[in-house]
Each structure stands twice: as C-alpha cells, then as structure tokens.
Amino acid sequence: MRLVNEAGIIVILYSILTVIIGIITSKYVKTIEDFIVAGRKLGPWLVALSFNSTALSGWLILGVSGWVYRQGYQAAWTLWGSGAFAVLASYLILGKYIRRFSKITNSLTIPDMLEIRYYDQKRHILRWISAIIIFISTVIYTGGLEATLAKAFKYVFGIGAVESVILGSAVVIVYVLLGGMLAAVWTDVLQGALMVITSIMLLIVGFQAGGGLDLFSKVDAMAAKDPNIILTPWQSPSVILYGISLILFASILSYMGQPQLLNKFMGAKDDPTIRKASLISLITQIVLFIGVLVAGFAARVLWPSASMLPNKDTELVAPFLIENYAGGIALGILWAGVLAAVMSSADSLTIMATSSIVNDLYYKIFRPNASPKQLVNLSRIVTLLIGILGIIVAFQPLLLLWSIWLGWSGLAVFITLLLPGLFWKRATRESAIIALIVSFIVGMLWFYFGLQNILHITMPSLLAGFAIVIIVSYLTKEPPKEISELVEKIKRGH
C-alpha cells in the first residue's frame, strides 16, 4: 500500500501541474488559427515533442511492453516502423508539403485540405465523409485511452472494473474539457519529456532486474518452452508477412495518414523547422521504444506465466516490474508517464475531431455567422459526446493494443488521399470519395471478422484505398487545370 500511496501522490501532483500549464498557456490562444495550428509559430522542439507525445499513448508503455511479453520480437517490426522509419517518412516525405499546402490554401485541417485538393467545395461530400470517419475513429481511440486509465486506477487504487472504467473515462473527459482544449502543444512538451524519462527508467530497471545481458540468454531459454515467444523478426514466413503489414502499413503509411499528427506540421513556422524537428523526433522516439522492449523481456523472464501478474493482465508488466524492482517513487513516475501519454494523445485527438465537426461542418457549411461562444459551447458538447461514447469501447474486453490500434487504423485511411493528392495531378474527386469510404469499411470489417491476427487491419484497408484512387482516377474526367497548378505550386514551395 506504501508504494501505491507514493505513486498516487506523484500522479496527483503531475495532474495539477498539467492543468496549471494548460491554464497559463491558454491566455495566448486568441484566434481559431492559434487554437487549431498554434498560430503557425512552432519551433523544432515543440513540433518534435508534440508529434511524439501525440503519436504514442498508453499503447506504448502498457500495450507494447505487454506485446513483447507475449510475442517477443514480433513487435520488432513495429519498433522499427513506429520507432524510426514512420517518423522519418512523415517528416521527409510529407512534412514540408503539408505545411506549404496548409499555408498556401489557408486550410487549417485535413478535411479542409482534401476539399480544396479534390475540388469538392460545392458539395462538401469529402468534408462530410472525413468528419464521420474522424468522429468514429476518435471515439474508438478515446475508448482505448479511457481503458488505459481504467487499468491504471484499478492497479493503483485497487478498485473494481466498472468503477475504474468510469473513473478513467471521467478523468479523460474532464481533462480535455478543461485543460486539454486550451493549449495542447505546450502540455505535450511536458508530457513528451515525462514519457522519455519513463522509458529510460524501464530500460535501466529492465536490464538490472533481468540480469544485464544475461537477460537475453534467459529469454532464449524461455522460448524453448513457449513457442509463442518470437526470437527473431524473421523466425518464420508468417512472422515476416505479419511484420511487413506492421512496418509498412500499420506504422509508416498509418503515421503519414494521422490528421492529428499532420496538424503539427501545419503549426510549424517554416520548412527548416520541420527538417530540424525530424532528428529530435526520431531520436526520442527510438529511446521510447527500446525501453518498453527491454521491460517486456525482463518481465517475461521474471514472471514466466501471466497468472503471476496482477489481474493476470499482460499489459501491466511495465508497472509491475517497476513496483517490484524500483519502488514507489519510480512507480509514481511511470504512472504519471502513462497519464502523460494518454492525455497528450487525448487532447490532440479531441481537438482534431471537434474542429472537424464544429469548424469544418457546423461553422463552414451551416452557420457561418455563429458566434465564438456558440462554437465553444458546441465544441464542449462534441467533446463530451466523444468521451461518453468512448466508455462503450472502454468496457469491451479488448487488449489496449488493439482498441487503440483500431482507432488509429480508421484515421490512417487519409493517407490514401494525401499521397496521391500531393504528388499526382491526375487524382480525381470521384476516386477520393470512393477510396475514403471503401478503405474505412474494409478496415473495420477486417477487424470485425477477427482477421487482424493474420494481417494487420491497415494492410487490406490502405491497399484497397490506393487501388481505388488509381483505377477510378483513370476512369473519370481529369481534375481542373487549377488543381494541376496547385500541385506544382506546393512542390515549388511558392
């Protein structure tokens, strides 16, 4: 109980600090541009840390460490993808072009961009479909984040499953309504730094508890008894095939399609900022992933059977390791790190989903004369709705890894329009509309029929989307001349 008390105090102190930063920085938010893209004034450190902490949530510290515990180096493909190459691809391939498009066309959100690029300003079909996809995916994603906090509260305070889900969901909703909506980027920096500290702690404690480099001999011995532990990322054809779906689709292409991450590029003050931020993002992201890998292996060696874990839950190996080998203060830092990871994703996600409904639909299509107060009130209602609907997901007996991945996969479909839209003049409006719908439905059905253990959801979903964009574009009338000129202008940068 002593450990829990120390951990609880640190978690409470951290929460107060986050809200204070949110309130202080909120004074600088004066326009809608400040609110959605931070006034396009962000420097490299802010862009980088905000990008990382938004991308990674409780999925990393709890989900991935549990995945390594269960399946060893199958996770390596995601560690390479999400840990490094997805970050590089996002910055190197998309970063400066997204920023330029946003600035040249004065678009503040991804639905804004898509509507302009795919010349759909009259009918707003793409805007509607985008808003629906963003809303559904955000509800699922937020549900996964609420479930993460539920695990945390169940662990720290020993309360029941129902109470912990309600408490976890309430904390996410209250935070986003009060603090998160105000100044996500600055709190993201604090949260990003805390996540890095947590991961370094997991790396050190994991190696110490696991016996240094002997940890790996023990993992090998463990694998001899349990065929589920994958010892090399190329152990069998199925491991490699699943790995390809992880690295290329679930990581690289999915990162490039996440609207809440691309918003960070829109907020960058210039092209050099994005170049500089890329290296900071890359190195911190690698540190984040290595820590959870070592923690997962150490836990597997120390507690070979899931029945030895709290609540028999493999996604609690990281806190259990820290509690047993590093003490209460370290456990408090870890839970604050988990809280940071959850909140930093929740705030950016909710801002994106709320702006896609309130700004992109309500304000731009239905009520251009709406007052700022009306817009703020509606934003709060939408936020509340996302949080409450998320509770349904949080109650599902899903691994965090998958509930968060499902929301992530839904948002990833935007890459099937963004890549062709930015680099291929021939991509047409009709192809974009069909691709967005089909890609999203394929992904959800793949999960519904339980096929996600054969190939990651994103592989069939994104392949379908890209194929449709190419085929339908050739079958339909070429885009207007202004669109070709716009694509050229984005490439040139002026």
Stretch near another protein under the rule CB under 8 A, chosen from 153-161, 279-287, 319-327, 350-358: 279-287
- Candidates 70, 96, 151, 154; binder of another protein (CB under 8 A) is 96
Amino acid 419 reads L
Q: Tokens 């929460």 sit at which residue?
A: 15
Q: Tokens 């802010």 sit at which residue?
A: 46
**Considering the rule CB under 8 A, would residue 93 count as an interface residue with another protein?**
no
- Candidates 48, 55, 61, 84; binder of another protein (CB under 8 A) is 84
**Considering the rule CB under 8 A, would residue 441 count as an interface residue with another protein?**
no
Q: Is 281 exposed, middle or buried (0-12, 13-18, 19+ CB in 10 A)?
A: buried
Q: Is the dihedral of CA 355, 456, 87, 336 positive or negative?
A: positive
CB of 228 to another protein, least distance (A): 13
**Considering the rule CB under 8 A, would residue 178 count as an interface residue with another protein?**
no
Nearer to another protein, 221 or 388 (CB): 221
CB of 43 to another protein, least distance (A): 11
Stretch near another protein under the rule CB under 8 A, chosen from 83-91, 185-193, 317-325, 452-460: 83-91
Nearest to 243 by CA among 407, 464, 56, 459: 459
**Considering the rule CB under 8 A, would residue 62 count as an interface residue with another protein?**
no
Q: Are 68 and 206 in contact (CB under 8 A)?
A: no
Q: Is 306 exposed, middle or buried (0-12, 13-18, 19+ CB in 10 A)?
A: middle
Q: How many residues bind another protein (CB under 8 A)?
A: 44
**Considering the rule CB under 8 A, would residue 255 count as an interface residue with another protein?**
no
**Considering the rule CB under 8 A, would residue 265 count as an interface residue with another protein?**
no
Q: How many CA atoms lie within 13 A of 396 on its CB side?
A: 18
Backbone angle region of 212, left / alpha / beta, with phi > 0 → left and psi within -120 to 50 → alpha: left
**Considering the rule CB under 8 A, would residue 234 count as an interface residue with another protein?**
yes
CB of 458 to another protein, least distance (A): 21
Say how far apart CA 454 and CA 244 lie, in whole Å.
12
What distance, in Å, lies between the first and last C-alpha atoms of the chain?
61
**Considering the rule CB under 8 A, would residue 421 count as an interface residue with another protein?**
no
- Candidates 161, 162, 478, 493; binder of another protein (CB under 8 A) is 493
Nearer to another protein, 126 or 490 (CB): 490
> Is residue 238 within a helix (H) or strand (E), and if so which, with residue range?
helix 237-244
- Candidates 59, 67, 69, 73; binder of another protein (CB under 8 A) is 73
Spell out, one character per residue from 187 to 216, where the chain touches another protein: x when CB under 8 A holds, - when not.
--------------------------x--x
Instruction: Using DSSP, state whether 72 is helix, strand or coil.
Output: strand
- Candidates 62, 171, 173, 282; binder of another protein (CB under 8 A) is 282
Nearer to another protein, 220 or 478 (CB): 220
Residues 6+ apart with CB under 8 A from 95: 265, 268, 274, 275, 278
**Considering the rule CB under 8 A, would residue 283 count as an interface residue with another protein?**
yes
Say how far apart CA 201 and CA 330 lie, in whole Å.
8
Q: Which of residues 24-53 bind another protein (CB under 8 A)?
A: 40
Nearer to another protein, 124 or 276 (CB): 276
335's tokens = 């839970």
316's tokens = 């609690």
**Considering the rule CB under 8 A, would residue 241 count as an interface residue with another protein?**
no
Cα Rg of the chain (Å, integer): 22
**Considering the rule CB under 8 A, would residue 480 count as an interface residue with another protein?**
no
Nearest to 292 by CA among 338, 261, 233, 253: 338
Q: Are 17 and 345 in contact (CB under 8 A)?
A: no
- Candidates 80, 153, 265, 363; binder of another protein (CB under 8 A) is 80
Q: How many CB atoms lie within 10 A of CB 30?
A: 9
Stretch near another protein under the rule CB under 8 A, chosen from 69-77, 349-357, 370-378, 417-425: 69-77
236's tokens = 């069998």
**Considering the rule CB under 8 A, would residue 272 count as an interface residue with another protein?**
yes
**Considering the rule CB under 8 A, would residue 259 count as an interface residue with another protein?**
no
- Candidates 163, 220, 478, 488; binder of another protein (CB under 8 A) is 220
* Binding stretches for another protein (CB under 8 A): 40, 72-73, 76, 79-80, 83-85, 88, 91-92, 96, 100, 103, 213, 216-217, 219-221, 223-224, 231-235, 269-272, 275-276, 278-279, 282-283, 286, 290, 293, 297, 493-494
